[in-house]
Structure 1
Amino acid sequence: MALMQAGHLLAIGAELGEGPIWIDGALWFVDIKGSRIYRHVPETGALDRWDAPEFVGWVVPSAKGDLIAGLQSGPHRFSPEMGAFDRIAEIDAHLPANRLNDAAIDPAGRLFFGTMDNDEAAPSGRVFMLDAGAVSATAIHPTVITNGPAIAPGGTHLYHVDTLARTITVHAIAADGSVGPAAPFLRFTGDEGHPDGAICDAEGGVWVAFYGGWAARRYNTSGQLTDEVRFPVSNVTKIALGGPDHRTAYATTARQGLSAEALAAQPLAGDIFTFPVSIPGLPIPPANS
């Protein structure tokens, strides 16, 4: 197993950093609880920020040339040039405590995203699919905190993270985008922390960030641990694989829930970290909406 240390990249101090994604030479990420969207261009060092009108879980590229942002009330079309948000669909209107949490796009451009109870108590989180502007709920069982989903290369399978249950299940994706029943993939004891955001690399390996675990870890398609990256902060939330060759990992972290004593011991909590990987990621396809 390969073991390494993550390096510090950007001082952000996010309450709940999340959703890192590599789009056209830039790293995009969000602070969910800060309702902010960020763009960092490593080549120039530029760092831009937009304020969102609601909690924002992620941004992804759209085939229409703009971005789609996962705001609390649903996916919105987002124009960085105008700083404008236009809702595509309303999600969970009957559950005002719910918000969007994580997302991934399959090769067909279908956007899979999860919801969760912002109070992290009710099992009201579902995984939805946005396909050509239409939203439908998948058959994945409701849970308190949905994470991932991660999409396997070729779009054949989806990995769903149940953070509080500390499990990851794998689901076949049919040609029409429907998601099949759960098969077990990984179960954690708790010593590792809580599994948070997950992504797949070009070989189908699954990178998982661990909230409260001080680490990100990679597992192969058989569920064997192949890589572990240690962090100087406890709450690692998700990684993205980017850079010119998609061999640079970028990780978001969080200050949320840390006591004053813990924050004093972790002054870099909420910042962005980076480390190299041997197996690259794949370019993110644009959403078809």
Structure 2
Amino acid sequence: MRTYQAEICLNERAEHAEGPVWDDVRQELLWVDVYAGLVRRAKWAPPRLLPVRTYSFGEMVGAVVPCAEPDDGWVVASELGFARLATDGAARKLTEPERGRGTRMNDGAADPRGRFWAGSMAHDVTPGAGTLYRLEGAEAVPVLTGVTISNGLAWRTPDEFFYIDTPTHRVDLMTPDGREPAFAIDPALGAPDGMSIDAEGALWVALWGGSAVVRFSRDGEVLARVDVPATQVSSCCFGGPDLTTLFVTTSQERFTPEQSAAEPHAGKLFAVDVDVAGLPVDRYRPEGEAS
């Protein structure tokens, strides 16, 4: 098994950094600070990220994806649903299917057809209270209900994707015929959170509570491990000019002041060069979106 060591690439601490995405058009990293309601952009100047701009969304935000046309800005999994974020920072809500449910939106990603998918979870992590949605125009279409912590999404084909509902300790495969387990993850490794897929079809899964990102084959064999000096590893993505840099987000969610002091790197961003490339990000295409 290959082992890597992630290094700090942004020394600023977020409360809960999540959802990194490499924008290959702008050559920037995007990510969110969930509870602070921030969408962030930074240039990669190895070994550091250089902040470009921070957008204050005004409410919690779970994920962000660039639009196919850069001037169209971004689509966001906002606190209660879906929204658009313009390049000047103006936000426009599209739909809020989670309003009044005691829930918030969490992880999300675009698919190869340009549709945006994102899922929800209860604030108190009530089992089964979350829903995975697909944004169609300005409508959030429920695709999967009864999930607890809707997390990582990674497409195998335009019609098949891998999906994580964290408490199951599994990666599932979603196909037009339904949902089936792809492989289980040993709880001793940590809880599966965000993930990314590489050019060889292997999955890089962030392990919350496990201080690592682990590369798994499609049948669950451990192929490589990235050690991260923070316990709560939330997500990862491939980036850089040749897509061989793995960016990793971490969190100090629900830390006491004592825990935060004991883990001084929690909430920072990390990077490591790996020996396999990732895939370009799938970008959101808003055809048919209501005006």
Match of 1:37 in 2: 39
- CA drift of 1:102 comes to 0.7
Match of 2:75 in 1: 68
* In 2, Cα distance between equivalents of 1:259 and 1:94: 29
Contact 2:171 2:184 in 1 (8 A): yes
- CA drift of 1:223 comes to 1.7
- CA drift of 1:45 comes to 2.3
Match for 1:189 among 182, 186, 190? 186
> In the alignment, does 2:158 pair up with 1:155?
yes
Match for 1:131 among 110, 131, 136? 136
Match for 2:120 among 115, 119, 127? 115
Mapping of 1:1-289 within 5 angstroms? 1-23=1-23, 24-43=26-45, 45-64=50-69, 65-81=72-88, 83-95=89-101, 97-138=102-143, 140-152=144-156, 154-172=157-175, 174=176, 180-289=177-286
**Paired residue type of 2:93:** R
Relative to 1, partners in 2 of residues 1:209 and 1:109: Cα closer, same or farther, differing over 3 Å?
same
Contact 2:121 2:129 in 1 (8 A): yes
- CA drift of 1:275 comes to 0.6
* In 2, Cα distance between equivalents of 1:121 and 1:134: 25
Gaps of 5+ in 2: 287-291
Q: Which whole-Å deviations, capped at 9, do the CAs of 1:192-212 have from their partners, x for residues lacking one?
A: 111111121122111110111
- CA drift of 1:46 comes to 3.3
The CA RMSD measured in Å over matched residues stands at 1.6
Please report the TM-score for the alignment, with normalisation by the length of structure 1.
Answer: 0.91
**Paired residue type of 1:231:** V
* In 1, Cα distance between equivalents of 2:282 and 2:186: 34
SS in 1 for 2:53: strand
Q: Which whole-Å deviations, capped at 9, do the CAs of 1:219-255 have from their partners, x for residues lacking one?
A: 1122211110111110000001010011111111001
Gaps of 5+ in 1: 175-179
Match of 1:177 in 2: none
Please report the TM-score for the alignment, with normalisation by the length of structure 2.
Answer: 0.91
- CA drift of 1:122 comes to 4.1
With 38-47 and 216-225 compared, the bigger mean Cα shift is at 38-47
Contact 2:10 2:269 in 1 (8 A): yes
* In 1, Cα distance between equivalents of 2:245 and 2:127: 36
Contact 2:112 2:282 in 1 (8 A): yes
SS in 1 for 2:206: strand
SS in 2 for 1:164: helix
Structure having the larger proportion of residues in strand = 2
**Paired residue type of 1:75:** F
**Paired residue type of 2:250:** T
